[in-house]
Amino acid sequence: MKSISISPRPIIPLLLPQLEHRYKISRLNHRLPLLHLDSAGRSLLLMASLNNHNHNHNHHFRHADSTASPPSSAVAKISHLKAVVLGDAPASEEDDVVLPSHEFSRQALVPSQQKYLEMYKASIENPAGFWSGIASSEFYWKQRWGDQVYSENLDVRRGNIKIEWFKGGITNVCYNCLDRNIDAGLADKIALYWESNEPGFDATLTYSQLLQRVCQLANYLKSVGVRKGDAVVVYLPMLMELPITMLACMRIGAVHSVVFAGFSSESLAQRIVDCKPKVVITCNAVKRGPKTIFLKDIVDAALIDSANKGISVDVCLTYENQLALKREKTKWKEGRDIWWEDVVPKYPTSCDVEWVDAEDPLFLLYTSGSTGKPKGVLHTTGGYMVYTATTFKYAFDYKDSDVYWCTADCGWITGHSYVTYGPMLNGATILLYEGAPNYPDPGRCWDIVDKYKVTIFYTAPTLVRSLMRDGDEYVTRYSRKSLRVLGSVGEPINPSAWRWFFNVVGGSRCPISDTWWQTETGGFMITPLPGAWPQKPGSATFPFFGVQPVIVDEKGVELDGECSGYLCVKSSWPGAFRTLYGDHERYETTYFKPFPGYYFTGDGCSRDKDGYHWLTGRVDDVINVSGHRIGTAEVESALVSHPQCAEAAVVGVEHQVKGQGIYAFVTPVEGISYSEELRKSLILTVRTQIGAFAAPDKIHWAPALPKTRSGKIMRRVLRKIAARQLDELGDTSTLADPGVVDQLIKLADT
């Protein structure tokens, strides 16, 4: 392709002047990549040269015209970024950005930077109009809200923190997930595919079948006294009965509290005592890989514990998971314990909807920190419904033909927003997988992708790095041709893992929606839109519609342009949580008092010269070394960029001279042995990429890292091992393999 020079003119300043009174977008040209128009008014996007024989990384702009392929005359060189186009070639370390292909953008819901900016401008300039338009056109409301779409106070200096969206609007999330889709002609569409831990066992439910199952459980719950506003604790693995239970609670206005079926009995009891449920729902056991986990035993212990603390539960509904454990081998308490299969199928397959206000409670989800009482994050109905559905639709560029698989467990917020509610509100076909992602071998994920023709695959960086460590051969033996969009969630993904995910799993043809959000936000806050933005490996890119992220310094002063600091959000968004259950004071103190007028995310963030956001992890995961504040995620990213490092976790330890030292747990790639040479090479990598001040004081060899069954690294345990506080390790029952802790202790002085 021959490149010629043209004289483009900036578009960003033309789009955004009206926003300056709400959001400092007057300087957005310093925050966003330069976008131009050609003489015909069409937007120009970055593009790599199509001369496949030319390996000199000569990169160009190109048209994002949705009606025709870009003419060769509309090409202009870009000076400071190197790029590769989706589907053209693998992403290498020499490439700064990965660009959406013309074909992908042509079919995308948001096909260009210009379209994104137009929608974003509308969402910030007129949030009431933007969100009410979506809420009115895409959801069913028994009664519309009043004249006021939302009200907010995010400033503790002006009184109590309060956020409300669509108050007075009457709706039901279950109705919108199921009945509305059935009425739209999706009765016979597959709603759920279910894949067992054991290969060869699976099941399906259509939307009409799912509704029937939900109604039967809803009727049962009503029969045992569950009413609107009552709590139901759910301790289930990834069986179809888990989303069925969540939807059944919503149908009758009950508030579910799903507890990840990996938490200990003590943790479960804490949550039971806090929300005082009418019913606990569980199953007798589950298989995770070759291991059987006896969930009913854990629940029994939790119910004894909670009763000793004054909270008794009269009904424990238990599903018999026959592939894991037969009922005759299950411990039982007559009068309290009831087999799901014995009662639920006897109830009618239709159930009246309990219509609720948009601001009525929807669910509780407890976040557990390393210390202190778990926080019961409370989400309400209307705003959460609208926000999760909209974020799912645009961040994954959802099509009606997609088969969607999120590997998260419904015990976490990702399983609420992006396994169950966001997808179902869009009428999607969802895959649930019960088992371990590497069972019976590390190729299981891609075997499942091929079996169900999965098109959207959403997972965590920890799983990506784990599969990366096992080698490409477990991926490439499968086709994966159905994949269209990949996604990352849970923590910042380091660039080397991003490139492996893109190149090997996606075959260099699938954009990655690297999403940043939290339990508290309800849905995506900063995320790529696959057809619109060039992607930088490891960056969450730009804010979603209606989200106003700012980076502030320690005094709360907003920083412009290229900078690093504390990530906050100003103004509310529909998916925001409303309080911490029973502790509104803690809600205000934790999230709104640190920087009055803002929601404080607790995360650090950098913004580069092109406006891209780079999350650096929790600010409490910042190490202060001789006055230098160093994000642990930054050091970890440098370590895993080493070709012989599969995974790393960094914590701070006390240091007599520096204040704090850097302590790194490192897992080498398969087949690489620990050695002094490797240790020096890893330290040199960090010194080279970050600086001498960031060099780890200690490299602790780790055959594996302590992770929960959801794949989250338990850094609390690592901190105690690093500090040699071995008598303070705390509860390690939620680890996928508690034996890892003993291994790490033995290797402490290696």
Distance CA 173, CA 182 (A): 14
Cβ partners under 8 Å of residue 732, min gap 6: 706, 714, 717, 738, 741
526: left (phi over 0), alpha (psi -120 to 50) or beta: beta
| CB within 8 Å of 178: residues ≥ 6 apart | 191, 207, 210, 211, 214, 247, 424
The answer to whether 516 and 526 have CB atoms below 8 angstroms apart is yes
DSSP code of 437? T
What is the Cα–Cα distance from 198 to 233, expressed in whole angstroms? 27
Q: Six-digit token pair at 486?
A: 């990949």
* Helix, strand or coil, per DSSP, at residue 636: helix
- Round to whole Å and give the CA distance between 238 and 255: 20
Closest by CA position to 470, among listed 637, 632, 671, 298: 671
| 723: exposed, middle or buried (Cβ count in 10 Å: 0-12, 13-18, 19+) | middle
Catalytic residue status for 620: yes
Residue 502: phi, psi to the nearest 5? -70, -50
Distance CA(320)–CA(328), nearest Å, equals 10
CB 239 within 8 A of CB 277: no
Q: In the structure encoding, which two tokens stand for residue 645, read together? A: 């490092």
Cα–Cα distance for residue pair 220/120, rounded to 1 Å: 45
Task: Quote the strand ranges of 189-230, DSSP E.
Answer: 190-195, 202-206
For strands 429-433 and 403-406, give the pairing: parallel
**Token pair 């660009």 in the structure block, residue:** 99
How far the first Cα of the chain sits from its last, in Å, is 56
Residues in contact with 57: Cβ distance below 8 Å, sequence separation at least 6, in sequence order: 48, 82, 94, 95
In residues, how long is the chain?
750
Please state the three-class secondary structure of 320-389 as a single string: CCCCCCCHHHCCCCCCCEEEHHHHHHHCCCCCCCCCEECCCEEEEEEECCCCCCCEEEEEEHHHHHHHHH
Q: What count of other Cβ atoms lies within 10 Å of the Cβ of residue 79?
A: 5
Specify the DSSP element, H or E, that contains 172. Answer: none
List residues bridging with 405 in a β-sheet.
431, 457
User: In the beta sheet, which residues pair with residue 667?
Assistant: 647
d(CA 125, CA 16): 9
Q: What angle do CA 389, 149, 160 make, to 5 degrees?
A: 100
CB 258 within 8 A of CB 365: yes
Crossing angle between the packed helical segments 207-223 and 241-251, to the nearest 10 degrees: 60
At position 309, the amino acid (one-letter code) is K
Instruction: Choose the catalytic residue: 96, 620, 731, 737.
Output: 620
CA-closest candidate to residue 376, choices 389, 386, 361, 397? 361
Separation between Cα atoms, residue 602 and residue 598, nearest integer Å: 12
Residues classed as catalytic: 620
